[in-house]
Structure 1
């Protein structure tokens, strides 16, 4: 088959995140299976317009907003070429049904519903446009096409908040983290790691506030924040003691820091799934997160981590949740039994595979009878 994957960014874009990992891991597996795959995306400064990686043809055009009309024009010119299109909605989809023939199999991939996040990143009038495009316009455009969600939370949000009427199928994230080449011992002092893009809705500032409170009782607490983004300068200006902001790290170095941690934490106000949560679990590290969309699916409360209730005083609640988690993990640092958080995390992460997700996606593309979820 000839397949186009259209996504806002590619994994080498400086602002890439979990959505880019998802789109790329599936694209490269489709290419490996013998399909002709084009990955069509925006072009960051310094990136080439075209290249081939892992058998996938990458085509880059446009910026944050101009990528949408340029991709539609690119597809319109080639409208009879593709058998299937993976239209990835990163807040706003590409509306590919507007330019493609009806025979083209179009799957709209939704990571999470952005309606409550538009206001954090955009002026009010542009946020209103975003909600209109994500809601009524998308609902009408994709009403006859298959929806793909990455978590049960996203399925519910699509039905309840976007009033999505078409079929929705669940295709989970896999796990990308490769274990370090040599064993990494747990840190001898309490150590917390936070992995993710430094953007407003990730609320890394709440973690910094919580750390300041936690270090009053645990002065040896160490915190590693891994990631980059527009909030980096503001966060660096207010780092409390014991916190290191690493920015971007190569995969091997990132894995070593995660593996040495007692606990992984995310303060995000909502996710589609929480890829970093399961990547930490694959290294045996449980996660503390707020009980919000996506993260309540990726974290099995009391087994592979802990969910902190929303609605109180966020920084204080996060500090309390982290403190309790560190106490629990401290009691089993030398225990290698099957009921430890370490082992339960690894078992949970072992349930997710990019190969299995790609197989399920291809079944949807080819029209196989796949159960709707």
Structure 2
């Protein structure tokens, strides 16, 4: 039996952060799964209002230091000062890399990338910051991680990394999973309902779905839109709903529980996902559990892997006009929706968190192999590091 690993995961947010999304869900499932198998797992992440600087949840130890940007410097400093002893360090590169290989900590580093942010920098930031961010992601990071293993959550992300000079042989694809099961007591709504689920931020482009609903409602007076999730763009989306005249047919649920999220996905007719970029699109699989097909754009990365065009959903080639047409066609075609519903349920059964964790465990053992003799000591963090 192999001895347990000591694993340090670096991510800018944890699952309970107000801005957490699918990437945080992914890391949470991996961390909890590894801890459940006896590994010593520490997640180092940013502090936020109401969060404890230290806590252990489901066997995973969380250390929260620094803010949105300070978390990167604080993490590097902790590694440089020897505050962590780990068999493997996992950097989660959400656009901005942690650059752990710059610190000679003695631990091998694995870089987890959900997707490349080329298109998103200019949407979220001004031109100067966008250029700097893209330079850091596309030029600096590939050099710093030049001898590290990578994990991508989709084949599309692996290909994008190849475009940045990362050899495909160093990239392992480990998909998202799901443990959700359909509730036989929840029925599909008796009128057309489109659901949008995710963080309410500009790059999710919820406005495209809202515009589509306005146009489609002309011939479908009972059409509803459910916007599920929270984020700083919420106020702007309320303004857009008023401006489009669809406030009376749009429900903003805010943040909801897991149970409520799945109920809404099960009742909706179609999931609209007009996002600018997705590494995988966890919500596609979550909706698929309930037989709810997805309409999304074809040029957004990992959705080409999580959605099977024409079988489990529709991938739109074009812009908002084509998105509206595709959404309307699917809402009107009960036979097509029914067929997609059956196929998507079968499709998503292959994606399970247990398999995700197993693949991560194997990869981490392979990455740590040179470091496992002599046995490593448990993670250690200096007691003096109490400020956040």
TM-score, normalised to structure 2's length?
0.88
* Pairing of 1:357-372 with structure 2 (within 5 A): 357-367=356-366
Partner in structure 1 of residue 382 of structure 2: none
Cα distance, 1:229 vs. partner? 1.1
Partner in structure 1 of residue 96 of structure 2: 92
Partner in structure 2 of residue 283 of structure 1: 290
Matched residue SS, 1:366: helix
192, 195, 214: which one pairs with 2:194?
Answer: 192
Of the structure 1 ranges 236-245 and 59-68, higher mean CA displacement relative to structure 2 is found in 236-245
37, 46, 66: which one pairs with 2:70?
Answer: 66
- For residues 299-336 of structure 1, the C-alpha deviation after alignment (integer angstroms, 9 at most, x for no partner) is 101111011113xxx332111010111122x2377x6x
How far apart, in 2, do the equivalents of 1:321 and 1:331 lie?
A: 15
306, 322, 342: which one pairs with 2:314?
Answer: 306
TM-score, normalised to structure 1's length?
0.92
How far apart, in 1, do the equivalents of 2:274 and 2:97 lie?
A: 26
Question: What stretches of structure 1 of length at least 5 have no aligned partner?
Answer: 369-373
Cα distance, 1:76 vs. partner? 2.3
Partner in structure 1 of residue 29 of structure 2: 25
Matched residue SS, 2:9: strand
The answer to whether the 8 Å contact 2:189/2:267 transfers is: yes
Partner in structure 1 of residue 151 of structure 2: 148
The answer to whether the 8 Å contact 2:192/2:224 transfers is: yes
How far apart, in 1, do the equivalents of 2:179 and 2:136 lie?
A: 32
- For residues 144-202 of structure 1, the C-alpha deviation after alignment (integer angstroms, 9 at most, x for no partner) is 11011000110111111x2224711101011153544x511111111111111111111
Matched residue SS, 2:119: coil
Q: 1:49 and 2:57 equivalent?
A: no
Partner in structure 2 of residue 130 of structure 1: 133
How far apart, in 2, do the equivalents of 1:26 and 1:320 lie?
A: 38
The answer to whether the 8 Å contact 1:286/1:342 transfers is: yes
Greater relative CO (CA pairs within 8 A, separation 6+): 2
Partner in structure 1 of residue 108 of structure 2: 105
The answer to whether the 8 Å contact 2:210/2:225 transfers is: no
The answer to whether the 8 Å contact 1:97/1:106 transfers is: yes
The answer to whether the 8 Å contact 1:4/1:39 transfers is: yes
Cα distance, 1:75 vs. partner? 2.2
Matched residue SS, 1:237: helix
Count of aligned positions: 356
How far apart, in 2, do the equivalents of 1:236 and 1:210 lie?
A: 16
14, 18, 28: which one pairs with 2:18?
Answer: 14
The answer to whether the 8 Å contact 1:178/1:252 transfers is: no
How far apart, in 2, do the equivalents of 1:195 and 1:178 lie?
A: 18
Matched residue SS, 1:92: coil
Cα distance, 1:242 vs. partner? 1.3
How far apart, in 1, do the equivalents of 2:217 and 2:238 lie?
A: 18
Partner in structure 1 of residue 324 of structure 2: 319
Question: What stretches of structure 2 of length at least 5 have no aligned partner?
Answer: 368-388
Partner in structure 2 of residue 351 of structure 1: 350
How far apart, in 1, do the equivalents of 2:15 and 2:60 lie?
A: 13
Q: CA RMSD in A?
A: 1.5
When residues 80 and 193 of structure 1 are mapped into structure 2, their CA distance, relative to the original with a 3 A threshold, is: closer
How far apart, in 1, do the equivalents of 2:336 and 2:306 lie?
A: 22
How far apart, in 2, do the equivalents of 1:296 and 1:290 lie?
A: 9
How far apart, in 1, do the equivalents of 2:26 and 2:79 lie?
A: 22
The answer to whether the 8 Å contact 2:82/2:105 transfers is: no
241, 253, 258: which one pairs with 1:251?
Answer: 258
How far apart, in 2, do the equivalents of 1:295 and 1:201 lie?
A: 15
The answer to whether the 8 Å contact 1:43/1:61 transfers is: yes
- Stretches of 4+ aligned residues off by more than 4 angstroms: none
Partner in structure 2 of residue 371 of structure 1: none
How far apart, in 2, do the equivalents of 1:31 and 1:78 lie?
A: 23
The answer to whether the 8 Å contact 2:200/2:234 transfers is: yes
How far apart, in 2, do the equivalents of 1:288 and 1:80 lie?
A: 44
Matched residue SS, 1:272: coil
How far apart, in 1, do the equivalents of 2:178 and 2:197 lie?
A: 15
Partner in structure 2 of residue 171 of structure 1: 174
The answer to whether the 8 Å contact 1:79/1:101 transfers is: no
How far apart, in 2, do the equivalents of 1:100 and 1:357 lie?
A: 29
Cα distance, 1:2 vs. partner? 0.8
269, 279, 286: which one pairs with 1:262?
Answer: 269
- For residues 112-135 of structure 1, the C-alpha deviation after alignment (integer angstroms, 9 at most, x for no partner) is 001221111112211111111111
